[in-house]
Structure 1
Amino acid sequence: MMVAEKVDCCLPTCQPAHMQRFFSTKMPGVNFVMNVLVFSLIGLLPVLLVYVMRAPGFASALMDGGPALSRFLRQVLTNGLPVIFIVNYVGFFLFAMLKAKDTNSRDPAVFILFDVITRVALFLVLHAFNYVLSASWFGSFGGSRATALSVVAPTLARSALFENISGVYLYATLVSALPLYVTAAGKSAILRPIFDLFPKKMGAVSVALLAFLSAAVCLTATAAVILRLLS
């Protein structure tokens, strides 16, 4: 099944019933990887456009081409897209596992907890790894690996507030978080009290958004703690 043929049905809501067509433990691995890549781009491009348009003069600088555009594209393609892809791969794989019959004995809240922890850890580790590579390969951060590592925490501490491009990467992964969290919230007995606080049709989505917000808060708090320890 080619994702491009039916992706339009998933864009409005990312409903689990639709997303299961593209992410299953029974589908070929190549198809799974390609679908993750396509949905990663779908999640990235709108958020990236908002980021570019809200920064004064940024869009015009990119349209002029030259070094600004090349550095921007290099940053997105070598740092942003790999981070988004890996985080989304984990999220979609957990979603596929949750839909599998042999996981029904577990409370699905476990999947949300595992994803939140993994999401935060991956953002920290992958940013550090990519920044060090950028310093070594492209001479970023003055070519200093130490400097590259030192800016990871302050950068991620502000990402949830959309103050830098790492915020783009964070919110671009919402495309994989929502199907997993909505599915888990709708089936979880542990989360039922929270689920029932919201209107029935909005319960699962509301819990899912709260879970993603929790991940963003955890990322910010973890980065802030690291920054304080290093200062």
Structure 2
Amino acid sequence: MMRKYFAIDMPAVRFTWNTLVFSVLSLIPAVMIYVAMTPGFGGMLIGGGLPLSRFSRQVVTNGLPVVFVVNYVSFFLFASVVAKPSQTYGIRLVLLVDLPVRIVGFIALHAVIYVLSADLFGSFGGSRATALRVVAPTLVRSVFFENISGAYLYATLASALPLYVMAIETSRTLGGLAHRLPGRAGPVLFAVVLFGFSVLALTAFAALLIWWQTS
């Protein structure tokens, strides 16, 4: 399926559009879960006005660009790999390419957007230094959906699930274990485990940044 929508030889506009659609479809349920898990927040948004305007701006100017850019880079690398006849998208590429791209890209893009928000919208008191200092603590809390970045985090990592399923299916070791379960249940289950590992890896990296900032 992924080869159909993300191929190195397809027009750039189509590749970009597919990435955008994929990103939006990943982001919408994650944002809805965040709103549902935040007491009173949904009712406040239904009331419209300034809260809805600010929240929508935050999602569009922060969340969507982060998810889109990370997905674009990841899908482009995937398309480049599978375009080679002798190359398959396996677990090694997931661990050495996709996972680092998503973790580092997610954190770096948050830092860039936070700085831009400080400059353009006066967020973080208009201070770039403050904007950078809050990136790591924000991302550590995001794993528990304590802030809207949690929605962006899970949308970004959930976008990789189809790639992980494909990688597991082509793996000799994990693929053999996964196919012991009926249908595609095995590859999907192992992909969810990789998803969980990705969440832990990003959280650990963000926690390491906090330690570095405070040491």
Asked if these proteins are the same fold (TM beyond 0.5), I'd say yes
Structure 1 gap ranges (5+): 1-16
Contact 2:102 2:157 in 1 (8 A): no
| Number of residues of Structure 1 aligned to a counterpart in Structure 2 | 212
- One-letter amino acid matched to 2:33: V
Q: Which residue of 2 aligns with 1:208?
A: 191
2:34 pairs with 40, 47, 51, which one? Answer: 51
1:148 pairs with 116, 131, 135, which one? Answer: 131
Q: Which residue of 1 aligns with 2:73?
A: 90
C-alpha distance in 2 between matches for 1:115 and 1:160: 19
2:57 pairs with 74, 98, 106, which one? Answer: 74
Q: How many angstroms does 1:88 deviate by?
A: 1.4
C-alpha distance in 2 between matches for 1:77 and 1:51: 15
- One-letter amino acid matched to 1:45: I
Q: How many angstroms does 1:100 deviate by?
A: 2.6
Q: How many angstroms does 1:223 deviate by?
A: 0.7
Q: How many angstroms does 1:175 deviate by?
A: 4.7
Moved more, 199-208 or 145-154: 199-208
- One-letter amino acid matched to 1:112: V
C-alpha distance in 1 between matches for 2:167 and 2:65: 26
Identity %: 51
Contact 1:91 1:176 in 2 (8 A): no
Q: Which residue of 1 aligns with 2:119?
A: 136
Work out whether 1:169 is the aligned partner of 2:140: no
Moved more, 187-196 or 83-92: 187-196
Work out whether 1:181 is the aligned partner of 2:160: no
What are the superposed Cα offsets for residues 101-141 of structure 1, whole Å, 9 maximum, x if unpaired?
4352x671222111111111011100011000000110001
Contact 1:37 1:85 in 2 (8 A): yes
C-alpha distance in 1 between matches for 2:65 and 2:124: 20
- One-letter amino acid matched to 2:147: N
TM-score normalised according to structure 1 size: 0.84
C-alpha distance in 1 between matches for 2:113 and 2:147: 16
Query: Superposition pairs for residues 108-119 of structure 1, below 5 Å?
Result: 108-113=90-95, 114-119=97-102
TM-score normalised according to structure 2 size: 0.90
C-alpha distance in 1 between matches for 2:58 and 2:152: 11
Moved more, 134-143 or 57-66: 57-66
What are the superposed Cα offsets for residues 13-66 of structure 1, whole Å, 9 maximum, x if unpaired?
xxxx3x432222221111010011011111111111121122111112222223
Secondary structure, aligned partner of 1:20: helix
C-alpha distance in 1 between matches for 2:28 and 2:89: 34
Work out whether 1:217 is the aligned partner of 2:200: yes
Secondary structure, aligned partner of 1:61: helix
What are the superposed Cα offsets for residues 71-103 of structure 1, whole Å, 9 maximum, x if unpaired?
211111111000000111123224434543435
Aligned residues: CA RMSD = 2.0
Q: How many angstroms does 1:146 deviate by?
A: 0.9
Structure 2 gap ranges (5+): none
Secondary structure, aligned partner of 2:137: helix
